[in-house]
Amino acid sequence: MQDHILIAALVSVIAFFSVYIITPYLIRFLEKRNLTVKDFHRKGGATVPRLGGVSILIGIISSELVLFVFFPITEIIVILITTSLAFLVGLVDEVTGLKKFIWFKPLALAGAAIPILLLGTFDSNLVFPLFGSIKIPLLYLAVVVFIIPITGNTVNSIDVLNGAASGFMTIASFALATSLFILGNYEIAIACLPLGFVSLAFYKYHKFPSRIFPGNSGALALGGMYGVIAIVGQVEIIAAIALFPAIINIFYLLSRMKRIKDREKKSKPVTITDDFKLAATNYKDAPITLVRLILARGPLSEKQVVSIIFKLALFAAALAIITTFMMGVRL
Amino acid sequence: MIGAHIFFFIFIMWILIIAGGGILVLLVAPITISGFGELDSFISSSIKAIIAIALIVAWIIILSKIKNRMFLKRITS
């Protein structure tokens, strides 16, 4: 057990400090090459470097490779491959014109799940709290293919405000790691720690006022890794519960998929007031996103909205951990 | 408290996912089909998969309706 604690500490330190140290250099590199986007929510519309996913991926790969030296298990290889593929999908989506094809991201992310199937690092038993498990061999193959696009897009959908995605993923990842520790799945729990520490280190630069954005590459890498850990750790339901606040946005994405053809006609869900606060719009056809729900009672500053998102994430994390304890109870 | 309605909404999501798990384990899992020879397990698996997908779709529709109603109530009050 003492060995496990030392290894957990080592990979956490590597994950945190690799992102913490590399990101300032990455910011300067991206600014020099003008790889920036305008932050419309900020006074004066500052430009902020995107492609922060590069430092996120470096943090994940370096820490997981060190972990693999201590625990040479296939699950860590799968985590590395799927996360890297999810990062590449985001990168391609960001730097090429493929963004126009609405199906590119979900289909390519589904492809990123293939290593999980090929290397057989899943168990087709889906475990529910209080009631036990259900074996769904056929359906579970589809579940594996669907989970990565869902978690990837869920994290991507919450990456609309400074610090929201990285802060949210810090809370959700630590909740997932805690659940895995409680269930006694120590190796995957330790493999999950870098996700939390990478998100935490990146949050330092991503929080308001952002110095860098994770971009699609970073958001999909974080979401993809979260999804693959849920599968290989057999904690799919717990992982979904910790993501609940962000899943509210997925309902909107699903409705958007349904109306692909007339998506251009949809109105904006949120607008900016003269004093640079965020406000929900009154348009009937605008999607009801998480941010719009938060702003339903009136305008708030970006920092206030992000703070509410973090409180919701903590609430969902608490429900996820309660659910973990309920896994051992049978009605 | 700002956003209290969303905490309540997340709590409903949690209750529904646990209830959905109960339906799957207690009602759907025991379903067995016989009379098709070697295809028995394939057919019963397919039926279970279809019911599970229908439950997920129902979960999304119910929560979408609650969310829309909750938002419209807040924005018009």
Selected residue of A138, A270, A303 to mutate for chain B interface (largest B Cβ count, 10 A): A138
Looking at residue A252, its pLDDT comes to: 63
Taking the Cβ of residue B16 and every Cβ of chain A, the question of whether any pair is shorter than 8 Å is answered with no
Instruction: Note whether A248 contacts B67, CB cutoff 8 Å.
Output: yes
**For chain A, what are the domain ranges?**
2-244
CA distance A284 to chain B (A): 9
- Tens digits of per-residue pLDDT, A101-127? 778 888 999 999 999 999 988 888 888
The answer to whether residue A49 scores a pLDDT higher than 70 is: yes
Interface check for B4 against chain A (CB to CB < 8 A): the answer is no
The model's pTM is 0.92
DSSP three-state, residue A143: helix
Q: pLDDT-based confidence at A262, cuts 50/70/90? A: very low
Chain-centre distance for alpha carbon B34: 27
Q: Does B44 touch chain A (CB under 8 A)?
A: no
**What integer pLDDT is reported at residue A95 of this predicted model?**
85
| Per-residue pLDDT tens over the stretch B42-75 | 888 888 888 888 888 888 888 888 888 888 777 7
Query: Chain A partners of B13 at a C-beta cutoff of 8 Å?
Result: 244, 247
The residue of chain B with its CA nearest to that of A300 is B2
Tell me the pLDDT band of A261, cut-offs 50, 70 and 90. very low
Alpha-carbon distances, residue A68 vs A11, A63, A112, A201, B33 (angstroms): 10, 9, 20, 22, 44
Whether B42 and A138 lie within 8 Å, measured CB to CB: yes
Interchain proximity B71–A296, CB inside 8 Å: yes
> Out of A1-10, A45-54, A159-168, B40-49, which region has the weakest mean confidence (pLDDT)?
B40-49
Residue B26 DSSP code: I
Which of the residue ranges A144-153, A249-258, A283-292 would you say has the lowest mean pLDDT?
A249-258
> Which of A301-305, B34-38, B51-55 holds the top average pLDDT?
A301-305
Q: Does residue A143 surpass a pLDDT of 90?
A: no
Chain A residue numbers touching B25 (CB-CB < 8 A)? 128, 131-134
